[in-house]
């Protein structure tokens, strides 16, 4: 019995020794496996870095190209709006020039016509014209005749004309009396 026990014991010790040896080699094996896995991943990461580095310039160039196209589109829009504004400014200047020429021609002749009219005949006609035009004509007439025409006009229209005339004489006002 002792020999069986000894034999069993030696097998148990032998088995335990083999397990201890196997367990002892396990960390080395595990490190080797991890090292191989890292080595396998390292080329992949290196390839990824190399790929990203390789396309960085192309991606930057593409981004700059898109930004440049957007800026060109915006510049074209701004240029179009400027062209429209310049066209409208030219139209306005043309209209203003024609208006001023007409006013100069009409002013001299029109004032002379009203100067020769009787105040009671001129007042109803000036009441029916534009208030600004009536004020401009009355301002060009002699004061005595202007006062007689204003006397013949309705109180409301005469007040409007007088208001425009007073603002025309005040340099501090920003209103254009004409």
Domain borders along the chain are 54-116, 118-170
Give tens-digit pLDDT for 86-99: 999 999 999 888 87
- The pTM of this model reads 0.40
Q: Tell me the average pLDDT across 111-130.
A: 90
Q: Which residue has the higher pLDDT, 114 or 2?
A: 114
pLDDT at 144 over 90: yes
Q: Encoding tokens for residue 125?
A: 């006609």
Distances (CA, A) of 172 to 136, 168, 175: 19, 10, 9
Q: Tell me the average pLDDT across 111-132.
A: 90
First to last CA, the chain: 139
Enumerate residues 6+ apart whose C-beta is below 8 A from 141.
111, 114, 115, 149
pLDDT at 14 over 50: yes
The sign of the torsion formed by the CA atoms of 146, 149, 151, 153 equals: negative
Q: Tell me the average pLDDT across 49-66.
A: 83
Q: Tell me the average pLDDT across 88-116.
A: 83
């Amino acid at each position: 019995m002792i020999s069986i026990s000894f034999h069993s014991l030696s097998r148990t010790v032998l088995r335990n020794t083999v397990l201890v040896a196997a367990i002892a080699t396990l960390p080395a094996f595990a490190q080797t496996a991890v090292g191989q896995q890292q080595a396998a991943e390292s080329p992949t990461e290196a390839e990824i870095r190399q790929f990203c580095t390789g396309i960085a310039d192309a991606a930057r160039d593409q981004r700059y190209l898109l930004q440049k196209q957007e800026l060109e589109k915006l510049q074209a829009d701004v240029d179009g709006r400027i062209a429209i504004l310049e066209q409208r400014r030219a139209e306005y200047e043309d209209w203003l020039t024609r208006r001023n020429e007409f006013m100069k021609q009409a002013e001299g002749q029109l004032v002379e016509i009203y100067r020769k009219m009787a105040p009671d005949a001129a007042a109803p006609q000036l009441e029916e014209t534009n208030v600004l035009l009536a004020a401009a004509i009355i301002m060009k007439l002699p004061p005595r005749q202007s006062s007689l025409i204003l006397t013949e006009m309705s109180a409301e229209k005469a007040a409007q004309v007088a208001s425009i005339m007073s603002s025309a004489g005040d340099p501090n006002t920003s209103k254009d009396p004409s």
